[in-house]
Amino acid sequence: MSRLRLIWRKSLNAVMLTLTGVAAFAVVSVLFLILGYLLWNGGKSLNWDFFTKLPKPVGETGGGMANAIVGSLKLLLLAAVMGLPVGLMAGVYLAEFGGKAFSFVIRYTTDLLNGVPSIVIGIFAYSLAVLPVKHFSTFAGGVALGIMVIPITVRSTEEFLRAVPTSLREGAMALGASKWRTIVTVVLPAASGGIITGMLLSLARVAGETAPLLFTAFSNRYWSPGWGQPIASLPVMIYTYAIAPYDDWHRQAWAAGLVLLALVLIANLGCRLVLNRRGAIRSV
C-alpha cells in the first residue's frame, strides 16, 4: 500500500471522527442549553409558596401551584393504575405466548397507537369519559394518559422479556413449573429491572403531556378532591400561565416547568437506585 493512501485513510478517519464528535456535542449542548435556561428562569422564580399555596386570583401577584403538583401526581397515579397492567400483560403475551400472525397485528397496532397524536387521544378520552357525564374530571384525564402509557409499556416489556435466556425458562419447567408459574416466578423477576424502567419512562413521557388534558382533566384554580372534578396539572398550568399577559404568571410557568422536570428526574433516579441496590440479580 502506498504511503499516500495511508495518509488519505488516516485523515479521512480523523475527519469522520470530528464530524460525529461535533454532532454528539451539538445534541448534548442543546439539552444543556434547555436545562440551563429552565434552571436559570425557573430557579429564580421558585419559592416555598409555589409548593404550598393555591394560585392567586388574576391581578394579584404571588401564590403557588400546590394543587397542580398534587393534580399531576394524581393523574399519573390513575394513568399508572389503568395503563401499566394492561401494557405489562400485553407485553407478556407478545413475548411468551403470541402466535406469529396475531402477534404481528398486536405489535403493529401498538406502534400505531404510539404514533397517534396525543390530542387525538385526548378527543377519544373526551368522548369516552367526558361526554357521557357532561363534565371534565380527573378520571377522564387519567384515561387519556393511561391510554398513552400502554404502547411504550407493551414494547419495552416485550423487549426485556425476550432478553431473558430460554435456559431459565427451561430450568423452571424442568422442575415441574407450569408455563404461567415460570413466567411469574422466574422470567418476570429476571426482567423486572428493565420492565420497571420502561414503565417509568412511559410515565415520564406522559407526565409532560398537555394536549390530552386540555379537554379531559381541564384545569382548576382550587383543590380538586376525589376523582370526579376538573383538576389542575403542571403542563396545563404551564400552558395557561405562559400565554397569559402577566409577568408574574410567566415567572410561575418557568417554575412549574422546573418542578415538572425535577419530578420526572427524581422518579427516574429513585427507581435506578432501588434497582441497583438489588444489584447482581439483574446481570443475567
Partner 1 sequence: MTAATRGNDAAAARFAPPVRVAAMTSAEPSKETGLRFQISKLDFFYGSKQAVFDFTLKIPANKVTALIGPSGCGKSTFLRTLNRMNETVRNSRFVGEILLDGQDISQMDVVGLRRRVGMVFQRPNPFPKSIYENVAYGLKINGYRGRLRDLVEHSLRRAALWEEVKDYLHKSAFALSGGQQQRLCIARALAVDPEVLLLDEPCSALDPVTTAKIEELMFHLKDSCTMVIVTHNMQQAARASDFTAFMLDGRLIEHNETSKLFTTPADPRTEAYITGRFG
- What residue ranges bind partner 1 (CB under 8 A)? 165, 167-178, 181, 185-186, 189-190, 279-284
* 265 touches 246 (CB < 8 A): no
User: What sign for the dihedral angle of Cα 213, 215, 220, 224?
Assistant: negative
Minimum CB–partner distance for residue 182 and partner 1 (Å): 9
Minimum CB–partner distance for residue 189 and partner 1 (Å): 6
Per-residue cell: 258:
422546573
Q: How far apart are CA 155 and CA 231, in angstroms?
A: 30
Minimum CB–partner distance for residue 274 and partner 1 (Å): 16
> Between 168 and 267, whose beta carbon lies closer to partner 1?
168
Minimum CB–partner distance for residue 279 and partner 1 (Å): 7
Q: How far apart are CA 210 and CA 253, in angstroms?
A: 13
> Between 38 and 184, whose beta carbon lies closer to partner 1?
184
> Between 77 and 173, whose beta carbon lies closer to partner 1?
173
> Between 91 and 193, whose beta carbon lies closer to partner 1?
193
Bridge partners, residue 63, by sequence: 55
Q: How far apart are CA 148 and CA 137, in angstroms?
A: 17
> Between 21 and 165, whose beta carbon lies closer to partner 1?
165
Of the candidates 74, 48, 76, which has an alpha carbon nearest to the alpha carbon of residue 62? 48
Minimum CB–partner distance for residue 165 and partner 1 (Å): 7
Q: How far apart are CA 284 and CA 281, in angstroms?
A: 7
